[in-house]
Amino acid sequence: MQRPSRTRNGRGFDVDDPNALPVVEMVSAGSPIHAGQVHRAWSAMVQTPGSTEPAISVVLKWMPSRVKVAIELGCSLAAMAFKLDVPRGMLVLADVDALAGLPAAATPLPGGRILCYGSVLRWPETARPRDGDAAVDEFIWQRFCETTTAAPGAAWDELVANGDRHAGNLVFSDSRYWLIDHDKALAPLAEAVRRMTEQTTRDEVREYRAKQNQVATQLLQRKPADHGMLTQPTKFEARSRALELLANRMSNWRTGNGVVNDVLVDAETTVRGIISRLPALGLQLQDRLSRPPSTLSWSTTLTRT
C-alpha cells in the first residue's frame, strides 16, 4: 500500500504551517454529516502517517472530480497566504470501510484507500447554518455583513470567481465567520486544468468572471456607503509575495502515490491561476460594484478584455 512519507520524530500535521505537506490519513471512523451536502461528507479524525501527536478533527468531503479536490486545496492554501478566514485544507487517505455511505462510484486508489478533501473542523455540526430558509438566510447575511470578514470575503470570491457563495457555506465559530466550499471556483480550471501550458487556457482562467458575487451583493445592499470592498485589492496585492512562495513550495510536494501527486500538481496550478488573476482584481471588483445593486451579475460567465 502506498502511503505518504513517514514523519520524523513523530511530528504531527501543523495546520498553521504553510510548509507542511497537506497529506494525512484518517485514524477514526467517519461520522456522516447530514446537512444538505451536495457531496457526501463526514466528520473524522486525521493525522500525518507515523505521528504520535493528537489527531485533528476535520470535515471530509468526497468528490467524484479529483480536479475539484485540487481546486478546494489550492483555494484553501491561497486563502491561508492571504490570511483569510478559510479553514485549512488537506488531502485525506481513508479506508473504504471507515466511510459509511460512501457512493458506489468512489474509486479506491492502488492499495484500496479513498482520496477525500478534508478541512479543519472549525464549528460543531449542530451549528451548521440551515440555508434555504429565507428568515435564516437573512439573519446570517445581516450578521455576516457586520463582520470584518465580509469585505475581504467579497474580494476573495471575485478573485477566485466563486459564484456559489450562499448562507450555507458561511459558518460561525470563534467569534468570526469562516468561508467554506470552493469546489465551484475557477470553473475553467476544472474543465481544462491539464491544458494550463496552452495560452488559451491561461487566458480563460485569468479572465473568467463568475456570474454573481453574493458577498458583494449582500454587503453593498446593507452597507452602500462604507462596505470597504474597494480597499481590499491593495491588501491582497501586499500578500502576493507570500502567494508566490507558496506556489514554489508546492512544486516540491510529492508523495509515494502517483494519484496524490497529480492532485498536488493541480493544486499548485490552481494557486498559480489565482496569482495570474490578482493584477486585475481591483478593476474587476470596481466594475462589479458599478452595476445595479439588484444584480451585480454578468450577462455571460466569461468576459474578455
User: Any idea which of 104-113, 130-139, 183-192, 248-257 has the lowest mean pLDDT?
Assistant: 183-192
Nearest CA to 127 out of 182, 170, 181 is that of 170
Whether residue 301 has pLDDT greater than 50:
no
> What pLDDT does residue 302 have?
38
Mean pLDDT of the chain: 85
Question: Cell digits for 231?
Answer: 480597499
Which 8-state DSSP code applies to residue 249?
H
Q: What is the mean pLDDT of residues 138-161?
A: 95
> What pLDDT does residue 198 have?
56
The residues facing 42 across adjacent strands are 32, 60
> What pLDDT does residue 43 have?
92
> 252 or 168: whose pLDDT is higher?
252
Under the banding of pLDDT at 50, 70 and 90, the label for residue 111 is confident
> What pLDDT does residue 168 have?
85
Nearest CA to 73 out of 84, 87, 89 is that of 89
Percent of the chain with pLDDT over 70: 82
- Give just the sign of the alpha carbon dihedral 274, 280, 285, 288: negative
> What pLDDT does residue 4 have?
43
Question: Cell digits for 305?
Answer: 478584455
| Digit-coded pLDDT (tens) for 206-235 | 888 898 999 999 999 999 999 999 999 999
Q: What's the pTM?
A: 0.88
Whether residue 203 has pLDDT greater than 80:
no
Nearest CA to 157 out of 82, 89, 223, 226 is that of 82
> 202 or 253: whose pLDDT is higher?
253
| Digit-coded pLDDT (tens) for 155-171 | 999 999 999 899 888 88
Distance in angstroms (rounded) separating the CA atoms of residues 49 and 97: 19
User: Any idea which of 9-23, 202-216, 288-302 has the lowest mean pLDDT?
Assistant: 288-302
Q: Which residue carries 461528507 as its cell?
A: 41
Question: Cell digits for 168?
Answer: 450555507
